[in-house]
């Protein structure tokens, strides 16, 4: 699997020179499988440049297909959807998996985004592509394009956010964004099993711990909580992402240094640390 | 008065080095009368930084008042609102104004923006006092010493243009709108552009003529006209039904209304800074050659324009 980071910011896009290096787009990651299948995880504004990059391929001619996995439907994880160019091209097919008890609930959530008060698209039915919705059953393992997928729900403020594990040929990538563990607790035992031994784990690193103290009710992790989860799960590589919208590049640099120290302190010296940035690619 | 630009982008925020100079935040303009509370037009992502700025003063103590005029509720004009810090401070008084809708109360529209599936803090949990006032086109009213007027624009689901007169000066905000020539945009979904040269229905043409006349009247002798110029002529040709204008359309209204300065606004998300420079230069050349007698500027984040009586 090859992972490409398109949006690494949390809550709201943060344009400006101070975010040029890590990027100001909201959450979006793509996974290209060994057989060249495309997965998209979350559709923050990062999905807009991803969409542009797909047009020269089959997606520009209505011959593309991809699978979209949504952690949850907060705006910063779906706001790029109406601007994802391949969705307008008849012939393209998208399977959308998300945090809902049924496919119609999931469709309803995305339909709400297209409401004519908010969007000139009016309804999902006006999008040209064929879109199929699939509610995810938490804890159940399923296969997509030869990749084994499993999702579990993390607490996230007043709602929950799905963490996904993708496995291909014994290699694994975990996507765990917007994880608001109860104070003093890490991930639940079931969640820790989902994270266990992942070769690469993207984990919510919205806050530095000093900001987390005053904002715990918002349902995000600090990088110290991410480091603790990575050590507890014994992952190979921890990827920081979902940075607070007010964190300038230099502060993210500082967070990375402090996260490294935290990993070392907790006995995770052998865990590689990466701070996600737009345009970064990782092979799993 | 002072006019400050906090977000100048249309459709969707565009972070990245290619938008560093004009800015990547979506629509938000602040009109600051010499005395009195700020009048904010639109709540795209630019309003986040404006909110942080307001929190340094009365809003930070829970003693602030802000008036928000919303052109329409498409995402790029409201998506910053949940990140407008004064809403989360008890004691602040936030007054929202937008066009009355046929089917839904304004408050219900904004409440659905922050339903729990989409955002963690619902409208009902905001600490500030939030009031909604629905407007009909042509209405005039006062905010402190400022006189507000409005007229409708040619945009899917209908947008409102606003004029603010205060301190002996005037600013008009006309975004989003298509020109008033090829297609009437109201509530119906229009999937495809009309055939080039297809005649308008007489009743549609009459509506568009009225709309254009209304906008010229609203903009009459304004010191500053802020205008949706998202499209180039080529882009407009394939997307007349998207509800945006070109610089030539803006020039035509600016000329007819005899404004002081035309401000290009609501830049396309794909427009890199260098391309926007070219559009501005072209527009200035047209104005110079035609001896139009007004200035043209292009909005960028951080731009401040002082108008009227100076303190």
Q: How far is B112 from chain A (nearest CA, A)?
A: 9
Asked if B12's CB is within 8 angstroms of A79's CB, the reply is yes
User: Which has the closest alpha carbon to B114: B98, B130, B92, B95?
Assistant: B130
Helices first, then strands: H and E counts in chain B = 7, 14
Residues of chain B in contact with residue A9, where contact means CB-CB under 8 angstroms, are 15
Touching A: B residues 245-304, CB under 8 Å = 269, 301
Inform me whether the C-beta atom of residue B131 falls under 8 Å from chain A C-beta atoms.
no
Asked if A109's CB is within 8 angstroms of B15's CB, the reply is no
Strand arrangement, sheet containing A237-241: A141-144, A147-156, A159-168, A171-176, A200-204, A237-241, A272-275
pLDDT tens across A31-65, in order?
999 999 999 999 999 999 999 999 999 999 999 99
* Interface predicted TM-score of the whole assembly (ipTM), two decimals: 0.96
Name the DSSP class of B262: E
* CA distances (Å), origin B99, targets B107, B144, B185: 12, 20, 16
H/E stretch holding A65: strand A65-69
Give the SS3 label for residue A255: helix
For residue B198, the model assigns a pLDDT of 87
Neighbouring C-beta atoms of residue A251, cutoff 10 Å: 15
Asked if B156's CB is within 8 angstroms of A116's CB, the reply is yes
Report the distance separating Cα A164 and Cα A67, nearest Å: 13
CB A119 within 8 A of CB A92: no
Asked if B13's CB is within 8 angstroms of A13's CB, the reply is yes
Report the distance separating Cα A129 and Cα B208, nearest Å: 33
Inform me whether the C-beta atom of residue B109 falls under 8 Å from chain A C-beta atoms.
yes
Q: Give CA angle at B184 (B179, B186), nearest 5°.
A: 115
A109 vs B24, B117, B243: nearest CB: B117
Q: A278 to chain B: nearest residue by CA? A: B16
Strands (E) across chain B are located at 2-7, 28-32, 39-41, 65-69, 93-99, 129-135, 140-143, 146-152, 160-166, 169-174, 224-228, 261-265, 295-298, 304-306
A13 vs B15, B119, B243: nearest CB: B15
pLDDT tens across A207-264, in order?
999 999 999 889 999 999 999 999 999 999 999 999 999 999 999 999 999 999 999 9
CATH topology of domain B2-306: Metallo-beta-lactamase; Chain A (3.60.15)
CB B218 within 8 A of CB B149: yes
User: Which has the closest alpha carbon to A109: A100, A117, A121, A122?
Assistant: A100
Substitution target in B13, B46, B187 with the highest count of A β-carbons within 10 Å is: B13
Domain count, chain A: 1
Place of tokens 């995305």: A110
Asked if B73's CB is within 8 angstroms of A118's CB, the reply is yes
Tens digit of pLDDT at every position of chain B (311 positions):
999 999 999 999 999 999 999 999 999 999 999 999 999 999 999 999 999 999 999 999 999 999 999 999 999 999 999 999 999 999 999 999 999 998 899 999 999 999 999 999 999 999 999 999 999 999 999 999 999 999 999 999 999 999 999 999 999 999 999 999 999 999 999 999 988 788 999 999 999 999 999 999 999 999 999 999 999 999 999 999 999 999 999 999 999 999 999 999 999 999 999 999 999 999 999 999 999 899 999 999 999 999 997 65
Residues of chain A in contact with residue B78, where contact means CB-CB under 8 angstroms, are 118
Give the domain range for residue A215.
Answer: 2-283
Report the distance separating Cα A64 and Cα A54, nearest Å: 9
Question: In chain B, what are the domain boundaries?
Answer: 2-306
Neighbouring C-beta atoms of residue B200, cutoff 10 Å: 16
Asked if B189's CB is within 8 angstroms of A45's CB, the reply is no
Beta strand A2-7 pairing with A28-32: antiparallel
Substitution target in A51, A101, A120, A128 with the highest count of B β-carbons within 10 Å is: A120
Q: What are phi and psi of A264, to 5 degrees?
A: -60, -45
Q: pTM for this one?
A: 0.97
CB B229 within 8 A of CB B193: no
Which tokens is B6 given? 């906090």
Report the distance separating Cα A181 and Cα A202, nearest Å: 16
Report the distance separating Cα A252 and Cα A14, nearest Å: 14
């Amino acid at each position: 699997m090859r992972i490409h980071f398109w949006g690494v910011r949390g809550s709201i896009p943060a344009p400006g020179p101070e975010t040029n290096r890590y990027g100001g787009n909201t959450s979006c990651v793509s996974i290209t499988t060994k057989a060249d299948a495309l997965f998209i995880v979350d559709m923050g504004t990062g999905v807009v440049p991803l969409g542009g990059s797909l047009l020269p391929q089959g997606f520009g001619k209505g011959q593309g297909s991809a699978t979209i996995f949504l952690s949850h439907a907060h705006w910063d994880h779906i706001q790029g959807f109406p601007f994802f160019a391949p969705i307008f091209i008849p012939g393209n097919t998208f399977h959308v998996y998300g945090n809902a008890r049924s496919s119609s609930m999931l469709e309803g959530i995305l339909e709400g985004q297209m409401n004519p008060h908010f969007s000139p698209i009016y309804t999902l039915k006006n999008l040209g592509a064929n879109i199929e919705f699939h509610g995810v059953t938490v804890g159940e393992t399923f296969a997509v394009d030869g990749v084994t997928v499993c999702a579990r729900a993390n607490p996230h403020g007043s709602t929950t956010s799905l963490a996904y594990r993708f496995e291909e040929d014994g290699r694994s990538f975990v996507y765990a964004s917007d994880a608001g563990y109860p104070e003093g607790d890490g991930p639940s035992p079931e969640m820790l099993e989902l994270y266990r031994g992942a070769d690469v784990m993207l984990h919510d690193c919205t806050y530095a711990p000093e900001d987390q103290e005053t904002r715990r009710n918002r349902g995000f992790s600090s990088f110290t909580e991410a480091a603790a989860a990575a050590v507890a799960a014994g992952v190979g590589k921890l990827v920081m992402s979902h940075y607070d919208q007010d964190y300038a590049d230099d502060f993210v640099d500082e967070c990375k240094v402090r996260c490294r120290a935290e990993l070392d302190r907790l006995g995770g010296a052998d865990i590689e640390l990466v701070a996600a940035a737009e345009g970064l690619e990782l092979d799993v | 008065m002072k006019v400050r630009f906090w977000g100048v982008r249309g459709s969707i925020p565009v972070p990245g080095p290619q938008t560093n100079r004009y800015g990547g935040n979506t629509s938000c303009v602040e009109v600051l009368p010499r005395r009195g509370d700020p009048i904010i037009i639109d709540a795209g992502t630019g309003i986040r930084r404006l909110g942080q700025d307001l929190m340094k003063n009365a809003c930070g103590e829970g003693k602030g008042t802000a008036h928000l005029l919303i052109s329409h509720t498409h995402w790029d004009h409201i998506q910053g609102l949940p990140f407008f810090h004064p809403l989360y401070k008890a004691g602040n008084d936030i007054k929202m104004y937008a066009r009355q809708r046929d089917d839904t109360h304004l408050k219900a529209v904004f409440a659905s923006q922050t339903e729990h599936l989409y955002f963690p803090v619902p409208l009902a949990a905001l600490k500030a006092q939030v009031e909604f006032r629905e407007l009909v086109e042509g209405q005039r009213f006062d905010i402190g010493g400022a006189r507000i007027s409005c007229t409708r624009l040619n945009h899917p689901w209908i947008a409102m243009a606003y004029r603010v007169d205060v301190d002996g000066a005037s600013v008009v905000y006309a975004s989003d709108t298509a020109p008033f020539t090829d297609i009437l945009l109201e509530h119906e979904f229009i999937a495809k552009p009309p055939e080039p040269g297809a005649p308008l229905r007489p009743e549609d043409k009459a509506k568009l003529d009225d709309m254009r006349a209304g906008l010229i009247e609203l903009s009459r002798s304004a010191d500053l006209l802020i205008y949706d110029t998202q499209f180039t002529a080529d882009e407009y040709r394939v997307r007349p039904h998207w509800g945006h204008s070109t610089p030539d359309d803006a020039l035509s209204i600016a000329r007819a209304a005899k404004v002081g300065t035309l401000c290009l606004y609501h830049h396309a998300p794909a427009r890199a800074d260098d391309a926007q420079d070219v559009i501005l230069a072209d527009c200035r050349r047209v104005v110079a050659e035609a001896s139009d007698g007004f200035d043209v500027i292009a909005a960028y984040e951080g731009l401040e324009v002082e108008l009227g009586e100076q303190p």
